[in-house]
Structure 1
C-alpha cells in the first residue's frame, strides 16, 4: 500500500509534534499553509493552539473556504484541542465573531477545563483501552449529534465522564494533545482513516473508468 500524504495546518500551534507522530505511523507528513498545498494531501490535521488565532490566520491566508470545501468533499480531518473547536458546528463560550471550519455535528465548549494555568494530565478511556492525555485550555463536547461516535471520555477527576474524543465518518477530534505524550494510538487511528478513505476514492475512480470504457 502506498504512503498517504497527510498535512498539518501550519499556521500556529503544535505543528512539528504532529508531523513527527504522523511520520512515525508511516505517513508522508507535510506542513500546509496555502490552498494548493491543501489540495495535494490525502488527509489533514488541525493542531492545538489558539482557535481564534488559527481561524483568523486561515482567513488571511485564503484557507478558510478551501478548508470548508475539503471537509464537505470528504477529506479526512483530525482536530486536536483547538482543532476540535475549529471542526465543531456549534460553540459555547466563544467570541461572537469566531469562525469555524465546521462539519462535525457537535456542540463544543471552549476552554471547558479552565485557563492555561489549569492545564493538566489525565487518563482517557478510548474504546476498550486507556491512553494518557494532556489537556491545555482544553474544550469538551457538550452534545454530539446522532451520526457522531463518542470514542473517549475522561477517567476520574473533575472532568470525569466528559466527552473528549469523537468521530463522524472521516472526521476525528480530541480535546487532548496526543502529540505531546508519545502515545501514537490516536495518530495511528487517523492514518488508518486516511488510508481507508483513499482506498474508497481509488475504487470509485476505477469504477468510473471501467464504466466509461
Structure 2
C-alpha cells in the first residue's frame, strides 16, 4: 500500500519532531504553510506551540479557512497540546483574537496543567494504542473540560480528559512526538490510510 502523505502545519511549534515521528510511523511527512501545500496532503498534524500565535499565523498565511473547510470535509487531523486547542469547538478561556479550526465537539481549558515550569511526564493508557502506556510529555498542557456525544474519550490523567477522537479528528493534551514512541503517530497514520481506502471505493 502506498504510504499516505501527512503534513505538519509548520507555522510555529515543534514541527521537526512530528515530521520525524510520522516518517517512523510509515507516512511521507511534509511541512505545510500554504493552501497549495495543504491541498496536497492526505492528513495533517497540528503541533504543539502557542495556540493563539498559530491561529493568527494561519490567518496571515491564508490557510485557516481552507483548513477549516478540509476538516469539515473529513480530512484526518491530529492535534497535540496547542493543536488540541485548535481542534476544539469551544475554548473555555480564549485569549483575545484567538480562533479555532474546530472539528471535535469538546470544551478545552488552556494551560490547565500549569505553567512551563510545572511541565511533567506521565504514563497514559490510550484506547486504541496497544502495549504499555504511552509516556506523555505535558508542557503548559490543556485538558478537556467536557465532550459532546459525538466525541470519544481515549485517555484520562488524574481524572482529566487528555485524549479524544471524533471521526477523523484526534487530539492529545501531551506530546508523544518528544518521546521516541511512535505508536500514537502510527494510530493517526492508520486513520489517514483508512480514510484513503474509503475515498478509493
TM-score, normalisation: structure 1: 0.91
Show the counterpart of 1:146: 149
Show the counterpart of 1:191: 189
Show the counterpart of 2:25: 25
Show the counterpart of 2:125: 125
CA distance in 2, matches of 1:6, 1:54: 19
1:131 deviation in Å?
Answer: 1.2
Q: Which moved more, 1:12-21 or 1:118-127?
A: 118-127
Show the counterpart of 1:181: 179
1:96 deviation in Å?
Answer: 3.8
Task: Give the alignment of 1:51-200 within 5 angstroms.
Answer: 51-127=51-127, 129-154=132-157, 160-200=158-198
Q: 4+ residue stretches of structure 1 with deviation over 6 A? A: none
TM-score, normalisation: structure 2: 0.96
| Equivalent position SS for 2:57 | helix
CA distance in 2, matches of 1:24, 1:182: 9
1:88 deviation in Å?
Answer: 0.3
Q: Is the 8 Å Cα contact of residues 25 and 183 (structure 2) preserved in structure 1?
A: no
5+ long unaligned stretches in structure 1: 155-159, 204-213
CA distance in 2, matches of 1:114, 1:198: 38
Between Structure 1 and Structure 2, how many residues are aligned?
Answer: 198
| Equivalent position SS for 1:192 | helix
CA distance in 2, matches of 1:109, 1:67: 22
1:97 deviation in Å?
Answer: 2.2
Q: Is the 8 Å Cα contact of residues 151 and 164 (structure 2) preserved in structure 1?
A: yes
Which has the bigger relative contact order, CA under 8 A and spacing at least 6? 2
